[in-house]
Structure 1
Amino acid sequence: MRTKRFQNRITTGRFTLPIAFLISASCWILASILLPAIAVQPDDYPLWQAFSDNCIPVWGNRLFTFILYALIGYFLILLNNRFAIIRMRASVQTSVYFLLAAVCPSLHTLYAGDLASAAFLAALFFLFDSYQQERPEGNLFHAFACIGLGSLLYPQLTLLVPVFWLGAYQFQSLHLRSFFASLVGWSVPYWFLLGHACYYGEMELFFQPFRELASFDSVRFDFSLWESVTMGYLLVLFMVSSMHCLVAGYEDKIQTRSYLQYLILLGFCFFVYIGLQPAQGVQLLPMLLISVSILAGHLFVLTQSRGFNLFFICAFVGLFLLFGFNVWTLL
């Protein structure tokens, strides 16, 4: 172990994930003490308001959010073990995800985007599983059903439908039957919503997701200070990880390269959409963290040079500085 670089000792250590989880929990507790009444971005969307008021008690908001992030982190491990994105049974992507979520105190309260990110990750699992299948209709149906379910609480998730079609085309699983299967899958949650609206005479409830989806704020770059710094940190991490995947992609299998290239596309789309619609940043950030954490985990586990070891140390130290800066900014 003494001959290994700091980066390799951390990424291959058996205690990395538990320590990352404890650090994340500590940051969560510290932020709740220092920022007991953190400003929550208002959301007037009726379906989300009904869900949050009836299903999530005020006292358990942060606890429920922490448990949700923990479940997403666990599912990231299952995703890597199923599709071997990092070429080994690694949990670094989950450690990175826990730490990235912990240093953003504004993400410690529940938003519709948090639940949408769980649906997004489930949809990603089914999409990856459709890779070069002879009959991918079932997987694409389930993938788009997850998107449709998540879009009931966060309608902007529907904007990912064309990106998922592009992914299905890249994975050679998009043809006429699977295309219509994806449409049926996306529409299934809305059929249930339509039945509820008709039964209770609340048709306005059925039209509300489509009105919310069609509403866009004016394009202006009015990020708050903590958002600008956080997005800058994530952008640097994303760019370095993406460049490594593209340059050293020959070391991975063709299937793994396809997965990584699609994650790069997703991350790019999230950055563009957040840049054009800053008001949606806190909603889309949990989904962006999923893409960035997988790419960063791939970078940290599979690089050995001194330069990447230095970048890993800088990124690790930068996380703690970012947490302190975000807390100080939000005080």
Structure 2
Amino acid sequence: MDDFRNRTAKSMLTLPLVAVVAGVVWLLPDPRSVWLWGGFAIVCALTYTLRELNNRSQLLRIRSRLVSATFLALFAALPDLHSAGMHLLPAVGLLLALCCLFGSYQQYRPEHYTFHAFFFLSIGSLDFPPLLVLSVLFYLAMGIVLHTFTWRSLLAGLFGLIVPYCFYVGYLGWEDRLDDFVQQLTPYLQYRWPDFRRLPLPHVISFGFITVLALLSTLHFVRTSLNDKIRTRVFLYVLIILELVLAGSCVLLPHHYCILMPLYLVVASPLIAHYFALARGGLLMNVWFICWLLGLIALSIYNYGLPAIFGAA
């Protein structure tokens, strides 16, 4: 048992095994559902993109597929997110934006990376306009951490944000539906403090489980960050900033759970994988890892079983 965690982190079979289990769990409610199949396909594409992000950005200093396996395993435990829909578009946009943003690191002329990073972020914001707030964090990361902020990259980012909206507003104008754009923005301009007493308990428990795990992973990285290369530290600090903002957004906008949780998993999964793959502790850490796996299984059973039972009752 004392080698179980290391074998899991380093094995090339971890991701395929998680994918098979996730697929079975995912399609269990209705194997004939096109929406479930579509949602699983989209999340598998996100999982592969995370794998590529990990490989290119060297988020882990060992050869491992634990980043993408962690993302898929956590996603599989949250059945309310599984159907295909526009709620997954912001997560797709954010992940592609991060790939481009990280690609700009140490580039002499990073403008094209910057344009595409903000372009994909803007695409995601078409379904969830508050996602544009992250553009401010992108600029801060470029100036403070990535050191790629110049007047050229500033303009490239602004251009990337504007282009999708030019096409979108132009299309709505052509269809004589500009009122739809105003109606889409209105709910976000009239914020009301949420009634936390009416939140679905499965959503609260799921958010709490992932947040505790993400917090432990963040603290571990901050404490041991000197063990990583500068490049890795830069990227993970960017993810930590985004993680904190998205965690706060989940608290302030809990009624957008199905949109915010995929975003949260995109930025939290690399940190969680970093924690379990690289934390020291021998037998004790392996027991801790197994406890979290059992907790994830319990969360999955709860999310799939008890709500259905109570609903039937």
Does TM-score exceed 0.5, indicating one fold? yes
Q: Which residue does the alignment assign to 1:48?
A: none
Using the TM superposition, give the Cα deviation of residue 213 of structure 1 relative to its aligned residue in structure 2, in angstroms. 4.0
**Structure 1 residues 30-41: aligned runs within 5 Å:** 30-32=28-30
Query: Measured at CA, do residues 277 and 206 of structure 1 come closer, stay the same or move farther in structure 2, by a change above 3 Å?
Result: closer
- Equivalent position amino acid for 1:142 in 2: H
How far apart in 2 are the matches of 1:148 and 1:215?
Answer: 21
**Structure 1 residues 257-268: aligned runs within 5 Å:** 257-268=233-244
How far apart in 2 are the matches of 1:213 and 1:32?
Answer: 34
1:310 aligned to which of 278, 287, 301: 287
Using the TM superposition, give the Cα deviation of residue 198 of structure 1 relative to its aligned residue in structure 2, in angstroms. 3.0
8 Å Cα contact 2:67/2:269 also seen in 1: yes
8 Å Cα contact 1:225/1:329 also seen in 2: no
8 Å Cα contact 2:22/2:72 also seen in 1: yes
1:300 aligned to which of 253, 276, 287: 276
User: Do residues 153 (structure 1) and 130 (structure 2) align?
Assistant: no
User: Do residues 217 (structure 1) and 192 (structure 2) align?
Assistant: yes
8 Å Cα contact 1:117/1:286 also seen in 2: yes
User: Do residues 14 (structure 1) and 12 (structure 2) align?
Assistant: yes
Q: Which residue does the alignment assign to 1:120?
A: 94
Q: Which residue does the alignment assign to 2:57?
A: 83
8 Å Cα contact 1:260/1:295 also seen in 2: yes
8 Å Cα contact 2:97/2:117 also seen in 1: yes
SS in 1 for 2:126: helix
1:287 aligned to which of 263, 268, 274: 263
Using the TM superposition, give the Cα deviation of residue 89 of structure 1 relative to its aligned residue in structure 2, in angstroms. 3.3
Q: Which residue does the alignment assign to 1:40?
A: none
How far apart in 2 are the matches of 1:127 and 1:10?
Answer: 29
8 Å Cα contact 1:131/1:173 also seen in 2: yes
Q: Which residue does the alignment assign to 1:232?
A: 208
How far apart in 2 are the matches of 1:215 and 1:135?
Answer: 40
Query: Measured at CA, do residues 219 and 162 of structure 1 come closer, stay the same or move farther in structure 2, by a change above 3 Å?
Result: farther
User: Do residues 97 (structure 1) and 71 (structure 2) align?
Assistant: yes
How far apart in 2 are the matches of 1:254 and 1:246?
Answer: 13
How far apart in 2 are the matches of 1:183 and 1:143?
Answer: 11
Deviation digits for residues 233-252 of structure 1 (CA, Å, limit 9, x no counterpart): 10111011111110110011
TM-score, structure 2 normalization: 0.91
Q: Which residue does the alignment assign to 2:219?
A: 243
1:328 aligned to which of 268, 286, 305: 305
Using the TM superposition, give the Cα deviation of residue 328 of structure 1 relative to its aligned residue in structure 2, in angstroms. 2.5
8 Å Cα contact 1:217/1:277 also seen in 2: no
8 Å Cα contact 1:136/1:178 also seen in 2: yes
**Range moving further from structure 2, 302-311 or 141-150:** 302-311
8 Å Cα contact 1:77/1:90 also seen in 2: no
Q: Which residue does the alignment assign to 2:117?
A: 143
How far apart in 1 are the matches of 2:175 and 2:248?
Answer: 39
Using the TM superposition, give the Cα deviation of residue 134 of structure 1 relative to its aligned residue in structure 2, in angstroms. 2.5
TM-score, structure 1 normalization: 0.87
User: Percent same amino acid at aligned positions?
Assistant: 30
Using the TM superposition, give the Cα deviation of residue 155 of structure 1 relative to its aligned residue in structure 2, in angstroms. 2.0
Deviation digits for residues 245-284 of structure 1 (CA, Å, limit 9, x no counterpart): 1011001111211111111111111110111111112211
Aligned length: 305
Q: Which residue does the alignment assign to 2:156?
A: 181
Instruction: Supply the RMSD in Å over aligned alpha carbons.
Output: 1.9
Q: Which residue does the alignment assign to 2:138?
A: 164
SS in 2 for 1:262: helix
Q: Which residue does the alignment assign to 2:40?
A: 66
1:27 aligned to which of 16, 25, 28: 25
Unaligned runs of 5+ in 2: 309-313
How far apart in 2 are the matches of 1:293 and 1:70?
Answer: 14
Deviation digits for residues 177-204 of structure 1 (CA, Å, limit 9, x no counterpart): 2112111101101111232233333322
Deviation digits for residues 1-50 of structure 1 (CA, Å, limit 9, x no counterpart): x8x521112111221111111110111122447xx9xxxxxxxxxxxxxx
How far apart in 1 are the matches of 2:76 and 2:211?
Answer: 17
How far apart in 1 are the matches of 2:159 and 2:181?
Answer: 17
8 Å Cα contact 1:168/1:174 also seen in 2: yes
How far apart in 2 are the matches of 1:86 and 1:298?
Answer: 6
8 Å Cα contact 2:75/2:81 also seen in 1: yes
Q: Which residue does the alignment assign to 2:296?
A: 319
How far apart in 2 are the matches of 1:144 and 1:210?
Answer: 19
Query: Measured at CA, do residues 128 and 99 of structure 1 come closer, stay the same or move farther in structure 2, by a change above 3 Å?
Result: same
Using the TM superposition, give the Cα deviation of residue 111 of structure 1 relative to its aligned residue in structure 2, in angstroms. 3.9
8 Å Cα contact 2:19/2:72 also seen in 1: yes
8 Å Cα contact 1:111/1:283 also seen in 2: no
Using the TM superposition, give the Cα deviation of residue 66 of structure 1 relative to its aligned residue in structure 2, in angstroms. 0.4
8 Å Cα contact 2:279/2:285 also seen in 1: yes
